[in-house]
Amino acid sequence: MDTYKDYVLTNGSEPASVFQFMKGLKLPEEEFYKYFGSFKTIKTHIWKAYMIHTLEILKNDNAYQEYTVREKLLAFYYTLMEVLKKDRSYIMYSFKGVKKPELSPSFLKSFKEEYQDYIHDLIAEGLDSEEIIKRPILSDRYHDALWIQLVFIVNFWLRDDTTNFQQTDAAIEKTVNLSIELMGRGPLDMMVDFAKFLYQSR
């Protein structure tokens, strides 16, 4: 996968064919197909690896296990950005020409699946701890909203030209705080609870 990334960044485009790519490596074409079915498959694997690496880092962090849901989501985004930062040029290449990444271009398919497995578990944890409130219809869409949040953060980071991407760090904090506040118990929920109390106390 690293060889593929090096090729596209050096040449500005994919190889014309698998044959050409493997010829440059002085390997037979059939060797490629032992691992990947196409260049599209490579791109999917590359992005899936970013997510798996991020989740492994968090899994091995003892402090992370004690965090609140808000803190876990913050840690996830900060860690993901550190992982992506090492491959920023390739990330920028991947998104070149992608106008609506929230619609999940094919190379993000496995990346999104891994993320949504993670986020479903995090939402369930938040519901158990009551950091997140279950709401009719809306709570079934929390994971979709958080996917859009992730895409927003990655796009923000790609446009960020501040030193050490300081604005991205601030954007992560603000978007996570907002999303947790919106999914948590707010004034409207308290008003509904109070109205129910008054009705039941008649």
- The predicted-structure confidence for 150-193, as pLDDT tens digits, reads as follows 999 999 999 999 999 999 999 999 999 999 988 987 655 555 56
Dump pLDDT digits (tens) for 12-60: 999 999 999 999 999 999 999 999 999 999 999 999 999 999 999 999 9
In the block, which residue shows the tokens 């409207």?
Answer: 188
User: Cβ atoms within 10 A of the Cβ of 165, count?
Assistant: 19
What confidence score (pLDDT) does residue 199 get?
66
Q: What is the pLDDT of residue 98?
A: 82
pLDDT at residue 200 is higher than 80: no
- Distance in angstroms (rounded) separating the CA atoms of residues 108 and 60: 25
- pTM of the predicted model as reported, rounded to 2 decimal places: 0.87
Expressed in angstroms, the distance from the first to the final Cα of the chain is 68
2 or 189: whose pLDDT is higher? 2
pLDDT score at 28: 92
Contact 53, 36 (CB under 8 A): no
**Can you give the pLDDT at residue 56?**
98
pLDDT digits 0-9 by tens, 8-23 = 999 999 999 999 999 9
Taking only the tens place, the pLDDT of each residue in 99-138 is: 777 767 889 999 999 999 999 999 999 999 999 999 888 8
Confidence at residue 31, expressed as pLDDT on a 0 to 100 scale: 92
Confidence label for 201 from pLDDT (cuts 50, 70 and 90): low
pLDDT of residue 104: 75
81/164 Cα distance (integer angstroms): 11
Nearest Cα to Cα of residue 51 among 150, 126, 182, 137? 150
